[in-house]
Amino acid sequence: MPSGALLFQSVILGLLLGGLYALLAAGLTLYFGIMRVVMIAHSAFLILAAYLAWWSHTELGVDPLLSMVVTVPLFFAAGVLLQRLLLARLRPVTLTMMSVLLTFAIAVVIEGLLGYVFSGTQRRIQLGYGSASLELFGARIAVVKLIAFGLAAVALLSLYLVMKKTAFGWALRATIQHRDAARLVGIDTDRVAGFGFGLGLATAAIGGTALSLDTTIYPSLHWHWIGPLMAIIVVGGLGSVPGAAAAAMVLGLAQSLLQIELGTTWAQTVFYIALFLTLAVRPQGFFGGRLAQRF
Amino acid sequence: MPSVSERLVTPGRAAGGVALVAFAAVALAYPSIAPNPYLLSVGIVVLNYAVLSTSWNFVGGFTGYISLGHGALAGLGAYGTGLLVTKGGLPSFGALVVAALLVAALAVPIGYAALRVRGASFVIVSIALVLVTLLVFQSWASFTGGSRGLNVPRPFPGMLRPEHHRVFFYLFLALLAVALLVWWLIDRSRFGLGLKAIREDEDKAEALGTPTFAYKLVVFVVSAFFTGLAGGLYALWFGDLDPIFQFSILTGSYMVLMALLGGVRNLFGPLVGALVVGVALEYFKVEFGNTPLHLVATGVLLALVVLFMPDGVLPALGSLLRRLDRTTDSSIREVTAAELAAQRIGGEQHAQSRNG
């Protein structure tokens, strides 16, 4: 039996990790809601943002957090273009399947280009405050993990406020709920869908920067993220943001606790086990509404 | 003049038949005409791709469910065969069949979880399958050899390398023929009709009494069986397995790319795609070595096919042939103005003669 302090530390780390998962899963949920698209390239963009943060730190010497000034607008624009120029061209009948292949292709291209430009070497940001940590009831929490969690929490909160309090958020939610009806009341759904994609990809930029603070990155890392993220959105119920957030917290916590006994590699399987069990027992997920029933 | 529907040998079919006979002749003669063992081994790799993407097409082509995880099924077939030979002491080809049956059995619970809901979840499960098998086979080193890999003893110990290639070339060719035959049989059966109904409109198919879930599950298991056989045969031929390559998401995406490029609704679509992509992949490997650029090339090609040619080259060729050959069916009757005038005059005379 692990000691109380170790257990407590794992719980804290699990919650911090769960926050990052929740932010990234929110992006995936957004795409799925808008277009019924499973965006495989989400985590590839995540790693791309992490590489850009690493690059701006080592080459330009600025704090990796500052890279977000560039990457967030850049990724927003990329998301809008991705939706308007590529995904909107696919046939509606086969959209779900073909969009998976298209975003998969994008993910592979990003991985290949990252490998070509930055080589396959593992990279890590060396920060002045990288090794600093806080003591809290006997648990040691790295400051960078707190920063990463803070970023994710702020981003999630802003996303929530945009969705609930702004006219654009209302238009976006209307588009998600009923595209035809939204068009009838005068919403330019194509435009809104494009901006929604931009918003989703902007979360990947923030998440990637947070990730780069305390993680060793390499081009094929995105496969280790897309699996857990997809498991989270299925367990939460496809299309449900609160569901995704709750599932992210629960599974992040479970992963962190299982790491004590099983080690990092085997602890990852908890996502896949949860995915299979959810689909076998309750395919619409644990928070999913009408949308998830059919996908 | 015989009507169009009575003409059994349309130019499209004739061209297809000629192409098939030509392919079979070249394939059978290839081991004799291949100038060196390397090119023969390339032929085996391409045939392996052809078997894999034809197996994939049991699910992808009939039901329209796209799996990115068939690479994992092939890897399980390969490792199953290897482990049954090395740890179980089974004879090579016995192990191959047992491993493929085990993969098919494993496909039942996987399919049960993946196929109960529609498309998106299926894709997610298929990708998760690759990631989880890679994780397990890398971490469980005491059983699978882990990242050090697994050596599979050759089935014919005394055989020289060129002869070994030759035998396996024909084995892969035979497996391809069987897979194509089974696909063709399902295509013509009532079962196949039900599967295609699922592809076109799953709700309507279900409303009309097609047992959609059972059909999807059965065809997924059949697909897994052939994929497992292909993977196992590869293990016996190649003799050296590494989890990174066996449980690679790329293998699955190659299968999809090949089948889509050729045309998923055609019996020979995946074969054509495998010939094009397989040869291109090998050429790329020789020219550019193992750079990450082959990822970029694969991704760009896949995106282009998805965006501009989702039906594949075979249907595109077919419509081109039809356009060149004016005599075959088209929705607009092609009659010259003179013929039309003659018909009209004849009709008018007929009417006049009746009236008068």
pLDDT in tens, B133-142: 988 888 888 8
Confidence of residue B338 (pLDDT cuts 50, 70, 90): low
Lowest mean pLDDT among A48-57, A213-222, B186-195, B323-332: B323-332
Q: What is the mean pLDDT of residues B217-242?
A: 93
Average pLDDT over residues B214-240: 94
Mean pLDDT of B6-11: 60
DSSP annotation string for B47-94: HHHHHHHHHHHHHHHHH----S-HHHHHHHHHHHHHHHHHTT---HHH
* Residues of chain B contacting A227 with CB distance shorter than 8 Å: 127-128, 131-132
Average pLDDT on B146-153 reads 82
DSSP conformation class of A295: -
Q: Look at A112 and B299 and tell me if their CB atoms are within 8 Å.
A: yes
Q: How confident is the model at residue B62 (pLDDT cuts 50, 70, 90)?
A: very high
Report the pLDDT value the prediction gives residue B216, as an integer from 0 to 100: 93
Say yes or no for a CB contact (<8 Å) between A294 and B302: no
- Taken in order B216, B217, B218, B223, the sign of the CA dihedral is positive
B contacts of A275 (beta carbons < 8 Å): 124-125, 128
**Which chain A residues are closer than 8 Å to B249 by Cβ?**
223
pLDDT number for residue A260: 83
- What is the Cα–Cα distance from B220 to B105, expressed in whole angstroms? 11
> In the predicted model, is pLDDT for residue B257 greater than 60?
yes
pLDDT score for B179: 95
Q: Measuring CA to CA, how many Å separate B115 from each of A286, B122, B194, B345?
A: 18, 6, 15, 62
Q: What is the pLDDT of residue A276?
A: 87
Measured CA distances, B105 to B154, B228, B229 (Å)? 26, 11, 13
Residue ranges covered by each domain of chain B: 67-145+152-253
Contacts (Cβ under 8 Å, ≥6 apart) of B175: B51, B226, B229, B230, B233
Q: Which amino acid is at B291?
A: T
Indicate the pLDDT class of residue B96, thresholds 50, 70 and 90.
very high
CA distances from B3 to B11, B301, B335 (A): 15, 42, 14
Q: Which residue has the higher pLDDT, B309 or B46?
A: B46
Of A85, A18, A62, residue with least CA distance to A249: A18
Render pLDDT for B158-172 as a digit per residue (tens, 0 to 9). Answer: 778 888 889 999 999
Cα separation, A48 vs A27, whole angstroms:
16
The values of phi and psi at residue A140, to 5°, are -100, 120
* DSSP labels, B86-123: HTT---HHHHHHHHHHHHHHHHHHHHHHHHSS-HHHHH
Bridging pattern class, strands B240-241 and A139-142: unpaired
Cα distances from B108 to residues B78, B124, B218, in angstroms, run 19, 17, 8
Exposure of A264 by Cβ count < 10 A (0-12 exposed, 13-18 middle, 19+ buried)? Answer: exposed
User: What DSSP assignment string belongs to A113-124?
Assistant: HHHHHH-S--B-
The answer to whether the CB atoms of A108 and B292 lie below 8 A apart is no
Residue B312 has pLDDT above 50, yes or no: yes
What pLDDT does B186 receive? 94
Residue B94: is its pLDDT beyond 80? yes
Q: Which of B110, B123, B217 to mutate to test the interface with A (most CBs of A within 10 A)?
A: B123
- Report how far residue B119's alpha carbon sits from residue B126's, in angstroms, rounded to the nearest whole number: 11
Q: Which amino acid is at A196?
A: G
Instruction: Kindly list the residues from chain B whose CB atom is less than 8 angstroms away from the CB atom of residue A82.
Output: none
Own/partner long-range contacts of B183-187 (Cβ < 8 Å, ≥24 apart): B183/B54, B183/B57, B183/B58, B183/B61, B183/B267, B184/B267, B186/B58, B186/B62, B186/B219, B186/B222, B187/B62, B187/B267
Spatial separation of the C-alpha atoms in residues B151 and B157, rounded to whole Å: 14
Compare CB distances from A98 to B65, B293, B310 and report the shortest one's residue: B310
Decide if pLDDT at B351 tops 80.
no
Interface test with B, best of A38, A94, A108, A255 (most B CBs within 10 A): A108
pLDDT of residue B342: 66
Taking the C-alpha atoms of residue B107 and residue A139, their distance in angstroms, rounded to an integer, is 44
- DSSP-derived letter for residue B158 is T
What is residue B225's predicted lDDT score, i.e. its pLDDT? Answer: 96
pLDDT at B354: 53
Nearest CA to A255 out of B135, B285, B185, B256 is that of B135
Q: What is the pLDDT of residue B75?
A: 94
Which two tokens mark A155? Answer: 């981003």
- Does the beta-carbon distance from B295 to A111 stay under 8 Å? yes
- Find the mean pLDDT for residues B77-94: 91
Supply the pLDDT for residue B194: 92
pLDDT at residue A52, rounded to an integer:
92
| Least CB–CB distance from A295: residue in B109, B120, B256 | B120
Longest CA pairwise span in chain B (Å): 100
Sequence-distant (≥ 6) Cβ neighbours of residue A207 within 8 angstroms: A20, A23, A24, A27, A46, A49, A152, A155
> Is residue B356 predicted with pLDDT exceeding 80?
no
What percent of chain B is modeled with pLDDT above 90? 34
Q: Note the pLDDT of residue B340.
A: 63
Asked whether B192 and B198 are in contact (CB, 8 A), the reply is no
Position B350 confidence tier, pLDDT thresholds 50, 70, 90: low
Is residue A34 within 8 Å of residue A241, measured between CB atoms? no
Share of chain B above pLDDT 70, in %: 87
- pTM, to two decimals: 0.85
Query: Which residues in chain A land under pLDDT 50?
Result: 293-295
